[in-house]
């Protein structure tokens, strides 16, 4: 008799939370909604804007260069699925907080309340830490970290008031792991993880989701610029992985954000790094946690071989440099 009562009390207590957390969230839609893409005039951001336009959203792209904005606006217009859709642009520097906040309010009165904000503005300069000028360090911190923080600070009150919203921040694979030549860029991107995880908990009660996108090397104008500054070591390590297309990264990013996933990644290496670094990060379903817990040990062993091969590349380059000096 006692056993039956225990079953009646405890089985639902265990089963209900498991079933609730196993269930994936239903996918939200951007059709007819307002999507703002900061950094939407080029690369991954422009592809995100195109995906949103194809799904019926009103899209606003934000960047600094007016010519690039005009060109991108025309391209995004061509992907609209109905003629009522509004594709607009604003020229703002994300590091100018007041201007960003004012422009968010202005664009809401013209296009409608913002439903999703994707921040893709960012840039990389590579090199060993001692070779950076102080201006370069400040530039990377401003664009990659402060810009993201400012965009969040400007949008959260609007989302909280409406009890609805989606925020996407763009990190990189070096948000979760360090790599030769990325000491400055990677530390800015690591900071985004702290921002995204804390924010996730702060805004969850308001029906606002946060996604941290972690693109691998992606074929964009930004990547071409980054390549100009890569030391040989960084180039050789990067070459061990493939190059994603901005279209694929954008499709995955939008899908993950609309299904409320915290991390958005593409490809095996990104899956491995993200799974290894999940730690105390938010999760979407309990099934994800079970999968991660099952493969963690094996992935750690595989990761050791990656680390060994990266360190071998660095050692070889160091030996070559030393030989040249002698």
CA distance 288 to 224: 35
What is the SS3 assignment for 73?
Answer: helix
**Residue 44 binds ligand NAP, judged by CB under 6 A:** yes
CA distance 215 to 171: 7
DSSP state of 261: -
**Residue 75 binds ligand NAP, judged by CB under 6 A:** no
Q: Using the rule CB under 6 A, which residue among 36, 57, 90, 94 binds ligand NAP?
A: 94
**Which residue intervals of the chain are DSSP H helices?**
2-22, 43-54, 66-77, 97-111, 134-140, 147-162, 183-203, 221-227, 232-239, 246-258, 268-276, 286-325
- The residue assigned the tokens 């993950």 is 256
> In the range 194-223, which residues lie near ligand NAP by CB under 6 A?
215, 217-218, 220-223
Question: For ligand NAP, how many residues bind (rule: CB under 6 A)?
Answer: 30
The region of 78-86, 116-124, 256-264, 274-282 touching ligand NAP under the rule CB under 6 A is 116-124
CA distance 58 to 56: 7
Q: Using the rule CB under 6 A, which residue among 120, 167, 203, 250 binds ligand NAP?
A: 120
**What minimum distance in Å lies between the beta carbon of 96 and ligand NAP?**
8
**Residue 234 binds ligand NAP, judged by CB under 6 A:** no
Which distant-in-sequence residues (6+ apart) come within 8 Å of 299 by Cβ? 272, 275, 276
Q: Using the rule CB under 6 A, which residue among 35, 63, 87, 168 binds ligand NAP?
A: 63
Nearer Cβ to ligand NAP, position 60 or 170? 170
Nearer Cβ to ligand NAP, position 244 or 314? 244
The region of 57-65, 196-204, 291-299, 300-308 touching ligand NAP under the rule CB under 6 A is 57-65
Nearer Cβ to ligand NAP, position 30 or 38? 38
Q: Using the rule CB under 6 A, which residue among 29, 65, 198, 255 binds ligand NAP?
A: 65
How many CB atoms within 10 Å of residue 289? 14
Which residue, 127, 123, 105, 126, is CA-closest to 114? Answer: 105
CA distance 34 to 30: 7
**Residue 41 binds ligand NAP, judged by CB under 6 A:** yes
Which residue, 205, 207, 104, 212, is CA-closest to 153? Answer: 104
**Residue 181 binds ligand NAP, judged by CB under 6 A:** no
Sheet holding 165-170, edge to edge: 87-91, 58-63, 34-38, 114-119, 165-170, 208-213, 263-264
Nearer Cβ to ligand NAP, position 12 or 221? 221
Nearer Cβ to ligand NAP, position 147 or 181? 147
CA dihedral 160, 22, 174, 61 (to 10 degrees): -40
> In the range 142-171, which residues lie near ligand NAP by CB under 6 A?
143, 147, 170
**Residue 230 binds ligand NAP, judged by CB under 6 A:** no
Nearer Cβ to ligand NAP, position 73 or 220? 220
**Residue 260 binds ligand NAP, judged by CB under 6 A:** no
- Chain positions contacting ligand NAP, by CB under 6 A: 38-39, 41-45, 63-65, 68, 93-95, 120-124, 143, 147, 170, 172, 215, 217-218, 220-223
């Amino acid at each position: 008799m006692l056993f039956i009562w225990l079953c009646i009390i405890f089985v639902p207590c265990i089963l209900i939370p498991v079933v609730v957390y196993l269930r994936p969230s239903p996918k939200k839609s951007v059709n007819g909604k307002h999507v703002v893409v900061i950094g939407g005039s080029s690369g991954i951001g422009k592809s995100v804007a195109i995906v949103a336009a194809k799904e019926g959203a009103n899209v606003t792209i934000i960047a600094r260069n007016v010519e690039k904005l005009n060109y991108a606006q025309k391209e995004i217009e061509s992907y609209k699925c109905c003629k009522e859709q509004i594709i607009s642009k604003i020229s703002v520097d994300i590091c100018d907080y007041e201007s960003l906040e004012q422009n968010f309010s202005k664009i809401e009165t013209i296009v409608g309340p913002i439903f999703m904000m994707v921040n893709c503005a960012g840039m990389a300069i590579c090199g060993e830490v001692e070779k950076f000028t102080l201006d370069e360090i400040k530039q990377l911190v401003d664009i990659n970290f402060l810009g993201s923080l400012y965009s969040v600070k400007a949008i959260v009150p609007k989302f909280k008031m409406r009890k609805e919203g989606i925020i996407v921040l763009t990190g990189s694979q070096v948000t979760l792991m360090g790599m030769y030549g990325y000491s400055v860029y990677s530390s800015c991107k690591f900071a985004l993880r702290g921002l995204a995880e804390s924010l996730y908990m702060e805004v969850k009660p308001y029906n606002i989701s946060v996604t941290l996108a972690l693109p691998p090397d992606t074929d964009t104008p930004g990547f071409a610029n980054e390549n100009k500054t890569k030391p040989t070591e960084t180039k050789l390590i990067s070459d061990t992985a493939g190059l994603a297309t901005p279209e694929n990264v954008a499709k995955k990013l939008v899908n993950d954000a609309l299904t409320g996933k915290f991390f958005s990644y593409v490809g095996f290496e990104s899956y491995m790094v993200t799974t290894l670094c999940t730690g105390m990060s938010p999760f979407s379903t309990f099934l994800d946690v079970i999968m991660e817990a099952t493969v963690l040990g094996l992935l750690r062993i595989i990761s050791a071989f990656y680390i060994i091969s990266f360190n071998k590349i660095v050692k070889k380059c160091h030996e070559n440099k030393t030989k040249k000096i002698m």
